[in-house]
Chains A and B, each alone.
Chain A
Amino acid sequence: KAGVTQTPRYLIKTRGQQVTLSCSPISGHRSVSWYQQTPGQGLQFLFEYFSETQRNKGNFPGRFSGRQFSNSRSEMNVSTLELGDSALYLCASSLLDGGNSPLHFGNGTRLTVT
């Protein structure tokens, strides 16, 4: 069974630009959640999508948005990039929604904002 796939693996952008990250979940998984990981803040929850609907949202500004397609693939968009957005962005898929279902993570997209 193929794991969670995130593309691209690395990305360099400049301040003010926008970026779109992609996540393909494990086949059959309908929940996709996104996280930002930085050395100072750890792993922080951005949002969760289940069956194309955003179910939960973390405490991030509106510049961070996402969506999920009918095939469960998900994209995350960050507009007007800031230096502080430099981080490893992880997505995870799970069979069920909510918070108690085990998460299967991709290897992340490392975003550097210069």
Chain B
Amino acid sequence: TQLLEQSPQFLSIQEGENLTVYCNSSSVFSSLQWYRQEPGEGPVLLVTVVTGGEVKKLKRLTFQFGDARKDSSLHITAAQPGDTGLYLCAGAYMRFGAGTRLTVKP
């Protein structure tokens, strides 16, 4: 079983701050996905990273896949209240990390 560990588990910040959340594993992944889940809804795919060292940007969100394809990070610049949610990373065969619950206060 490929275990994914996400950190931190909880994060509460003020609007305008920057933050980084992490997704780590001892296993190598062929690809890794990031999802965001808002209360009362299912997770929504943000990005898929495939190549080691790959960096993808989605507006204020920057995703990086580690060179060894064992870890990934999500950096949010100038966080906004609309970024509030549960951020989940997922590896192959539907294995998810426990998530980082982000709260951005106005």
On A, residues with C-beta under 8 Å from B are: 4, 33, 35, 42-45, 48, 56, 58, 90, 92, 98-100, 102-108
Contact = CB atoms under 8 A, between A and B. Distances in A.
Contacts of B95: 45, 99
Contacts of B40: 107
B7 interface: no
Contacts of B43: 43, 90, 103, 105
Contacts, number: 55
Interface in B27-69: 30-31, 33, 35, 40-45, 48
Contacts of A107: 40-42
Contacts of B99: 42-43
A100 B94 contact: no
B94 A105 contact: no
Chain B contact residues (Cβ within 8 angstroms of A): what range? 20 to 34
Task: Give chain A's interface secondary structure class.
Answer: strand
A44 B4 CA distance: 12
B42 to A, nearest CB: 3
Interface of B: 30-31, 33, 35, 40-45, 48, 88, 90-99
Task: Give chain B's interface secondary structure class.
Answer: loop
B39 to A, nearest CB: 11
A35 B33 contact: no
B99 to A, nearest CB: 6
A108 B42 contact: yes
B33 A102 contact: yes
24 contacts: A42-B96, A42-B98, A42-B99, A43-B43, A43-B88, A43-B96, A45-B94, A45-B96, A48-B94, A56-B94, A90-B42, A90-B43, A98-B93, A99-B93, A99-B94, A102-B33, A103-B90, A103-B94, A105-B35, A105-B42, A106-B42, A107-B40, A108-B41, A108-B42
Contacts of B45: 102-104
